[in-house]
Amino acid sequence: MGENNPRADFTRAAVQGTAVRYLIFFSSKLLLFVSTVVLSRLLTKDDFGVVGFAITTISFLDVISSLGVRPALIYYPESDRTSSTAFWANLIISFGIYGLAWLIAPAVALYFHDPRAAGVIRILSLTFPISAVGDTYGNLLAKRLSFNRTFLPEFLRAMTKGLSSIGFALAGFGYWSLLIGQICGEAVATIIYWFSLSWRPAFLMDLTILKSLLEYGVKYIGADIVSILLLNLDYLLVGRFLGTEAFGVYTLAFRLPDLVILQFARSLSTVIFPVYSKMREIPNSMAMGFFMTTRYISLITVPLGLGLALVAGPFTRLAFTEKWIEAVPAIKGLAIYSLLLSLSYNAGGAYKASGRPQINTWTGLFRLALLFPALWWAVASAKSIVAVSWIHAAVALVGTALNMVVAARMLNLPLSELGKALFPSAASGALMGGMVLAFLTLTKDSGDWVQLLGSVLFGGLTYIGCLWLIQRDIFSDTVKIFQGALKKG
């Protein structure tokens, strides 16, 4: 895959932008992880379960919170009329979603068999009108590839959310502390985003532009609705069939792979879509970009996913205490699921930038057809969050393989090239996994600190050493890319 000026520049922007976004998210999510550790000791499984009901509901409503206006703003050429139209449309729609949340809250509480769910949903839905003000600014920064300028709002969002939640938990607010933290974090991020650009929305709404934005957005929403079903179907079923405490354990188990792996994938999607949108005018550039981003994504998510699955036991005992030991088997399955799912975000970005976001819908429906009956069995018959996590992993394997093949064919990228992109991380990850597993077996009678630190040290050295031996140029290129990302940040 040769590199040539504009294509190479956009590809480098994609990879470096991903690196910048991941460094930004890593710093903010590290704060959230620390706050989660503290809150896991202050709050109960039931508290996490009740808030999980609200977060699940809000996640579904968030899909239609702008009717696809936000991604359409990235897709279409930038102009003041387009940006202003998108800003006011987004704000109006968000207030409508806020009202909808109030209306459906009692029905959701009835579904989850917990009357407390109605109150927490209504309070958490305040985040819609609050965040809508800053959404357009965030999308304009992404459109301009100014990813480093999102650091401050995202960092302060995480810090405010964590500190507020901990403060109110210490004051005895119980599960309400988690909700208050969410709202405070959104408010602070919105204020910072507002001042991140000198642009201000004009008091106008161009109906012709709005129609174009919504036409693209409707296609986008179809894929997002399927995606949110795939991401939250387990929450819907676990919350209804296994009870609030089991749901609380499962939501905590999901937080680790979400913070470590899926946040990287989401960071990636904010980079890949606008970069691919600019690359689509240059022949064959998207194929090269897809090859390179697949290679670099896997270099990061393979060791993270395998490593988290292997050290879930000592890590959970040290971070969350024995109170949450039930989460360990679920964390293992969810770590593998997150690893596999991270590769699909790259394919999704290619579909959207090509003007065919509906492909995400069709591949998502295929996964959903496999996932629903399998998860139903896991909660209704097996009654196990462990079964839920490993079913997720199995379906993600099939779905990701399908997405990668479809994207490669759409971009005219030979499957052999796709294999070359994945080979370095797969080979190095397999050797790393074997080394860590052997170390954990030999030190099974040692303390958790010994197992955790030893696994990270030996596993990391093995992975890097193997990568150095089998394809040294990738290793050196990766170092250069992250150095460039640090300079940009």
Structure tokens at 119: 């109150």
- Do the Cβ atoms of 276 and 349 come closer than 8 Å? yes
In DSSP notation, 217-279 reads HHHHHHHHHHHHHHHHHHHHHHHHHSHHHHHHHHHHHHHHHIIIIIHHHHHHHHHHHHHHHHH
pLDDT along the chain (489 residues), means of 10: 48 54 61 76 84 84 70 73 84 89 92 90 90 82 70 82 89 88 91 87 83 74 74 88 90 84 70 58 67 82 92 91 90 93 78 70 86 93 93 92 87 85 91 94 90 93 89 66 50
Kindly tell me the burial class for residue 391, based on how many C-beta atoms sit within 10 Å of its own C-beta (0-12, 13-18, 19 or more): buried
Distance between CA atoms of residues 36 and 43, nearest Å: 10
pLDDT of res. 440: 93
Centroid of chain to Cα 354: 22
- Do the Cβ atoms of 305 and 484 come closer than 8 Å? no
Cα separations in angstroms, 166 against 140, 169, 260? 33, 5, 21
- Do the Cβ atoms of 331 and 256 come closer than 8 Å? yes
pLDDT of res. 300: 84
Amino acid identity for residue 181 in this structure? G
Structural domains counted in the chain: 1
Distance between CA atoms of residues 57 and 110, nearest Å: 13
The helix or strand, by DSSP H or E, that contains position 282, with its residue range, turns out to be: none
Range of the domain at 313: 5-488
SS (H, E, C) 198-212: CCCCCCCCCHHHHHH
pLDDT of res. 14: 52
- Do the Cβ atoms of 296 and 485 come closer than 8 Å? no
pLDDT of res. 15: 53
